[in-house]
Amino acid sequence: MLHDILGWYNYWLIAVLILVGIYGMMAKRNLLKKLMGMNILQVSIILFFLTLSPKEEGSMPVFDAELASTAAGYANPLPQALMLTAIVVGVATTGLALALLVRVHRTFGTLEEDDIMEDLR
């Protein structure tokens, strides 16, 4: 039982972060808080990928014949490369979302979803 938690602590942490992120996106009524929830979810998924990459006794993925001669001796570089792209996507999404929020605030004078819905009705 203890081993299940401690041995996989990174996955547990990520699971908690994912749930926090989704909770923020779905349950919060303030648009900026929704955006924060989205960012938390993004980071948690990036962490999930990164946690796939290291190996026991594995060194950093730069080939050096003295360190190891097989792939097993190096961390997997691919998830890191993928997540570099995912981070860029995340930055673009956040930037666009903030720009939209500026427009929303200018139009409605508030970022509370309930107030905006009231206004639209």
Partner 1 sequence: MTTSNSLAWIIAVPFFAAAVLPMVRRLGKAWVLPTALIGSGAALIFALYAAAIVVGSGEPVRHELGGWEPPWGIELRMDHLSAVMTVLIASLSFLVLVFGRGGMEKRLEGRSHFYYSMYMLFTVGLFGMVLTHDLFNLYVFLEVSSLAGYSLIAVGERASPFAAFRYLILGTLGALLFLLGLGYLYAITGTLNFIDVAERLAPLGDSRAALVALALMLTGFGIKAALFPLHAWLPDSYAYASNLTVAFMAAVGTKVGAYGIFRVLFTIYETGNLQFHMPVVQIMGILAAIAILAGSILAMAQSDLKRMLAYSSVSQIGYVLLGFSMLNANGIMGGVLHIVNHAFMKCCLFLVVGAMMAQVGHRDIRRLSGMGRKMPWVMAAFSLAAISMIGLPPTAGFFSKWYLILGAVDAGSWIFVAVILVSSLLNAAYFFRVLERVYLKREDPAEAALETAVATTSATPVSGSSALAVQPEEALEVREEEAPRPWLGPGTLPATMLAPIGITAISLLALGLGSAWLVENVLRFIVPGGL
Residues contributing to the site for partner 1 (CB under 8 A): 18, 22, 25, 31, 34-35, 38, 41-42, 45, 48-49, 52, 79, 82, 85-86, 89, 92-93, 96-97, 100-101, 103-104, 106-110, 115-116, 118-120
Instruction: Tell me which DSSP letter residue 62 carries.
Output: S
Q: Which is nearer to partner 1, 66 or 85 (CB)?
A: 85
Closest separation in Å from C-beta 10 to partner 1: 13
Q: Which is nearer to partner 1, 5 or 92 (CB)?
A: 92
Q: Which is nearer to partner 1, 5 or 78 (CB)?
A: 78
Q: What does the alpha-carbon distance between residue 54 and residue 50 come to, in Å, rounded to a whole number?
A: 8
Q: What does the alpha-carbon distance between residue 84 and residue 81 come to, in Å, rounded to a whole number?
A: 5
Q: Which is nearer to partner 1, 38 or 75 (CB)?
A: 38
* Closest by Cα among 98, 105, 84 to 39: 98
Q: What does the alpha-carbon distance between residue 26 and residue 70 come to, in Å, rounded to a whole number?
A: 46
* Closest by Cα among 53, 54, 20 to 38: 20
Closest separation in Å from C-beta 22 to partner 1: 7
Closest separation in Å from C-beta 56 to partner 1: 16
- Give φ, ψ of 112 to 5 degrees: -80, 125
3-class state of residue 59 by DSSP: strand
Closest separation in Å from C-beta 66 to partner 1: 26
